[in-house]
Structure formats: structure tokens, C-alpha cells
Amino acid sequence: MSGATLNAGTGVKPWRLGARTRKAVLVLHIASVGSWLGIDVVMAVLTFTALGTDDQSTKVLCFRVLELVTVWPMTVSGLMCLVTGVLLAMGSKYGLTKYWWVVVKLVLNLLLSTLVLMSLRPGVAEIADRAEANDLDIPLGDMIYPPIVSPTLLMFAVVLSVFKPWGLLRKKKR
Ligand code: HEM
């Protein structure tokens, strides 16, 4: 733990991560973001290759691999990003609900992780089952959104992390 100033009014020392621990958690946070984005790229390559090819065996292969590489690796990256992000926020001056950029990132992280489990998981499972049964007449609309929406929101979160816009949720009392 590092030396922290007393909370105004309460006299309680806020909890802070020590400098080394904070750096270690930040490394894990950035690594989880990197792997999450990487899996998004793999998902996009597989999805658009499957949609663009006329070769049936390539299509089937892409859909099967899609199920394998997306859901669980993405869930783990999303959860790791969430846990390390919450630790970084709570163990620093930023706090979990003090700054807009942190709150928006928290909401995005929760939203994307929920979508992976509630929407992407059953979606790719169905596609893989269809591919198994050689039923490849899959509506395009079902497939193109995840590889576009997920990396776009993640990149937005990266921009928020670097620029930290919009300031405090509540204005400080004078
Ligand atoms: C939505 C997915 C997320 C992405 C893509 C993301 C991205 C990043 C990146 C790239 C950094 C490094 C910024 C820098 O060192 O300049 C960072 C730092 C940080 N993130 Fe996240 N993050 C995400 C989720 C979260 C969540 C859920 C929280 C907390 C609720 C959070 C809180 C923080 C904090 C406090 C820092 C340290 C900022 C600093 O010390 O400058 N992040 N994030």
C-alpha cells in the first residue's frame, strides 16, 4: 500500500494499490484488452471469410473454429479486463464511480461480457450445429454485428482510457 491522503470529511484513509502492484495489475489489464481485441480480429477474419467464400468446406471449417476460438477465450479476456479494471479504479484516485470515463468503461465491459455469454454463445453454437448438418443458409444479419460492434466499442474504451474525458460525475462542493 502507498501513502494516501485522508478522505475529506471522514478522516478514513482510502485504499490504494502500491506502485508495483498497480503496475502489475495495469500490465494484466492491458494484456487482457490486447487479447480481447485479438480474438475480435480472429472472429472478424473467420466470419467474413465464411461469408465471402463459395467453398463449402472452408465455410464449415470457419464456423466450427468460430465457436472454438470466440466464446470462452473472449469471456476470460472480458472478465480479466473487468476484474483488473475494477482493481485499478478502486485502488487509485479514480475510484469506481467518480469519473465518467471509468463508469462508461465499466458499463461497456459489463455490456460486452454479457453479450458474449447471452447472445454470441448461443449464436455461434447454432451456426456450428448448422455447419455440422451442412445447412449453411445462415442469414447474414445474424453474423456481421459481433465482429464490428465489439472491436468498435473496445477501441472507444481504449480512447477513453488514454484521454480520460468528461471529468467528475458529481461536481466537488466548495
Ligand atoms: C471495456 C474494456 C476496457 C478497455 C478496452 C480498457 C482499456 C484500458 C487501457 C488501454 C488502459 C491503459 C491506459 C494508459 O495506461 O494510458 C486502461 C487503464 C485503466 N483502466 Fe481500463 N479498459 C477497460 C475496462 C476497464 C474497466 C471496466 C475499468 C474499471 C471499472 C477500467 C479502469 C481503468 C483504470 C482505472 C485504468 C488506469 C488509468 C491510468 O492509471 O492512467 N478499465 N484501460
- 171 in any annotated domain: no
- 87 in any annotated domain: yes
Identify the pLDDT of residue 173: 64
- 61 in any annotated domain: yes
Ligand 1 center to 27 CA (angstroms): 10
Res. 174: pLDDT tops 70: no
Q: Is 35 in the pocket of ligand 1 (CB under 6 A)?
A: no
Res. 99: pLDDT tops 90: yes
- 55 in any annotated domain: yes
Owner of C-alpha cell 472480458: 78
Res. 49: pLDDT tops 80: yes
Look at ligand 1, atom 32, and give the residue with the nearest C-alpha.
85
Burial environment of residue 66 by CB neighbours within 10 A (0 to 12, 13 to 18, 19 or more): buried
Identify the pLDDT of residue 60: 87
Each residue's pLDDT tens digit, 13-45: 889 999 999 999 999 999 999 999 999 999 999
- 2 in any annotated domain: no
What's the mean pLDDT when you consider all of the chain? 90
Each residue's pLDDT tens digit, 153-167: 999 999 999 999 999
pLDDT, greater one: 4 or 129 = 129
List residues bridging with 99 in a β-sheet. Answer: 168
- 41 in any annotated domain: yes
Mean pLDDT of 108-121: 95
User: Total structural domains in the chain?
Assistant: 1
Mean pLDDT of 59-71: 89
Quickly list H helices, 19-55.
19-52
Sequence-separated (6 or more) residues with CB below 8 Å from residue 47? 62, 66, 143, 144, 146, 147
- 70 in any annotated domain: yes
- Candidate from 88, 159, 163 with most ligand 1 atoms within 8 A of CB, to mutate: 88
pLDDT, greater one: 51 or 101 = 101
Q: Is 33 in the pocket of ligand 1 (CB under 6 A)?
A: yes
Q: Is 85 in the pocket of ligand 1 (CB under 6 A)?
A: yes
- 42 in any annotated domain: yes
Q: Which domain holds residue 121?
A: 19-163
DSSP 172: P
